Structure 1
Amino acid sequence: MRNNPITPTIDFDKDGIQHGFLRLPYSRDDSAWGAVMIPVTQFKHGDGPTALMTGGNHGDEYEGPIALYNFANRTDIENFQGRVIVIPAMNFPAFQQATRVSPVDKLNLNRIFPGRPDGSLTEVIADYFSRTLVPMADYVLDIHSGGKTLDFVPFAASHILDDKQQQNACEAAAKAFGAPYYLQMLEIDAAGLYDTLVEESGKVFVTTELGGGGTTYPHTVDIARRGVDNFLIHAGILKGEPRLPDTEAINLDMPDFRSFIFSEHAGLVEPCVAMGDIVREGEVIARIHSIERTSSTAPAEYLAPRDGMVICRHVPSLIKIGDCLNVIAEVV
């Protein structure tokens, strides 16, 4: 198999704090011998596990990049025992353009793992993570939020896995992150996900959704910043005491696909419930109004398919057929 063309400008085996780039050659109209320069920081001190922490898997999600750019400014290497690789914006071209998918090849990084070393730019990035970075790691944290089209209650999540020992380790790490909610998450389609690649590699993996709407809030940034520290303290890499929420986290579950509500209409969403609300099966959660004309036609009503908590909503208020309208999780 062809070697990946990405070259790190740091030495992953060297002790200390290093700041540099993952350099990916990219010849384009405005730079014949140009490159995509993905920022990377490494902390390495003594013997211990390796943690790989990423944000910006999608380029319009910001809590992860803010938390990790902040973390990269640390200078207290004596408080580390092991290695931490920090990549605040793994899909850097998308992050620069504030888009979910890459503006270069229109690919969604989080749907094409394990990638290809001889593929398009996004496939090459996926391949470098798959064959170089993930194999180095024992613990992997990938910080997400809802981007421009979804908004979530802030949760850390893990998945049901065939290896129950690994599943328990992932769940413990997700709870240690210290978000207000913990979710045992069901994916619509796990094929091609970074999550799936990392979990199939046998690593302890935690993902999050920490808000959305294409913006951030002080409280969601604070959840991400303290969660990064908590994750590393749990892994035994960072010294210190975890900083947890003032109230105990709420445990949530998505036992089947009835948790997802998809729109079968295009139009204007009238929400009838708010995120965090407890709903009952059959309760009206939203109405979608046709925007093409005023008429006597009633808006389409959407009913809760199960009892539970509303943990996700569509944003903005105009919706297309097939978009995710809401997600309802069971409170454990």
Structure 2
Amino acid sequence: MLQMQPPPSLVPSPVTATVDFAAPGVQHGFLRLPYSRDDAAWGSVMIPVTVVNHGEGPTALLTGANHGDEYEGPIALFDLAATVRPEEVTGRLIIIPAMNYPAFAAGTRTSPIDRGNLNRSFPGRPDGTVTQKIADYFQRVLLPMADVVLDFHSGGKTLDFLPYCAAHVLPDKRQEAAAFDLVRAFGAPWSCRMLEIDAVGMYDTAAEDMGKIFVTTELGGGGTASARTAGIARRGLRNLLIAAGAMRGEVTAQPTRWLDMPDADCFAFAEDGGLIEFLIDLGGPVSADQPVARIFPIGRTGLAPIAVHARRAGLLMARHFPGIVKPGDCVAVIGEEVEG
């Protein structure tokens, strides 16, 4: 007789927290996910978490390393977890510096366990792969607790960005306006109305579909963090928490310039592989159909480089990193500067 499996929504999450999300004060612990492997039959994935409860204000869910090779968020969040005092907090902070901990520990975008891209794995499955189980716990346990979600990103090893804070254009204009108010408070050098080209399964979408105020960043790239970009992350994090009513203090206002990504023409893709030479630096102006880069074939000498053209006018807000590209790689992103 065929035995029917229960739907994922009825299967309990295998993740357990060693912290009490309702307890007052500061707690440091882990989200523990059993993971049987060759070197530890009864092993676990241990995702560090800090919870700070003090006051009746909103709950802020703060995450980094959704992709494991992006470092500004983990720097700011590990620092906040180590230094925050309960009396500074007027609500609840749930701090998870490395939500895809296996990828973070390996320094890779995706998980070395199952090659899962956490930011394309929502809503997840409690009976799925390790990455799907992590996504499911965020979907069913952590996101419902949150009022505000800040998910730090940067370009990782394959992109470099102008440092910006961003939110999405949404059908619910009150939700959208609240998100952009926090983007403005974050105070990155650039602020962006962001368009996603691969939004299926994203953490962003999961949070926004629940009505949460969702803010994200792209703060540089190249698989490292600079003193400047780490500083932007630290300062912006506190500014956002103060503006959201989750921490005490005054927002330290910073000038920001606004970018819009109105359509798919913002993205330029390589149709050929090879050595890329950029003809425009980040932040530089671009005209429609202007060559932004050229790609040298590397299999032999004597071949002319192939130009990659911008599909719209604006400025160069992101570029491929490092110097070798493959067909289909995103080479450049063109944003339109707008009034804030």
Q: TM-score with structure 1 length normalisation?
A: 0.98
Q: 2:208 aligns with which of 181, 194, 199?
A: 199
Name which of structure 1's ranges 66-75 and 141-150 shifts more when overlaid on structure 2: 66-75
CA distance in 2, matches of 1:93, 1:141: 21
Task: Tell me which residue corresponds to 2:7.
Answer: none
CA distance in 1, matches of 2:268, 2:322: 16
Q: Which amino acid aligns with 2:321?
A: V
Q: Which amino acid aligns with 1:140?
A: V
Task: Tell me which residue corresponds to 2:92.
Answer: 83
Q: Which amino acid aligns with 1:20?
A: G
Task: Tell me which residue corresponds to 1:299.
Answer: 305
Confirm whether residue 238 of structure 1 aligns to residue 259 of structure 2: no
Equivalent residue pairs, number: 329
CA distance in 1, matches of 2:158, 2:308: 19
Q: TM-score with structure 2 length normalisation?
A: 0.96
CA distance in 2, matches of 1:107, 1:291: 31
Unaligned runs of 5+ residues in structure 1 are none
Q: 2:195 aligns with which of 186, 195, 200?
A: 186
Confirm whether residue 327 of structure 1 aligns to residue 318 of structure 2: no
**1:250-277, CA deviations, whole angstroms, 9 ceiling, x for partnerless residues?**
1100110000000001000011000010
CA distance in 2, matches of 1:316, 1:75: 36
Q: Which amino acid aligns with 2:83?
A: R
Task: Tell me which residue corresponds to 1:50.
Answer: 59
1:6: Cα distance to partner? 0.5
CA distance in 2, matches of 1:79, 1:122: 34
1:307: Cα distance to partner? 1.1
Unaligned runs of 5+ residues in structure 2 are 1-9
- Partner SS for 1:72: helix
Deviating runs (4+, > 4 A) in structure 1?
none
Q: 1:261 aligns with which of 268, 279, 283?
A: 268
CA distance in 2, matches of 1:147, 1:316: 10
Q: 1:143 aligns with which of 135, 152, 156?
A: 152
Q: 1:18 aligns with which of 18, 21, 27?
A: 27
**1:106-142, CA deviations, whole angstroms, 9 ceiling, x for partnerless residues?**
1100001010011010000000000000000000000
Q: Which amino acid aligns with 2:62?
A: M
Confirm whether residue 317 of structure 1 aligns to residue 326 of structure 2: no
Q: Which amino acid aligns with 1:163?
A: D
CA distance in 2, matches of 1:96, 1:189: 25
CA distance in 2, matches of 1:135, 1:4: 14
How big is the alpha-carbon RMSD for the aligned residues of Structure 1 and Structure 2? 0.8
- Partner SS for 1:52: strand
Confirm whether residue 134 of structure 1 aligns to residue 143 of structure 2: yes
1:175: Cα distance to partner? 1.5
Confirm whether residue 274 of structure 1 aligns to residue 281 of structure 2: yes
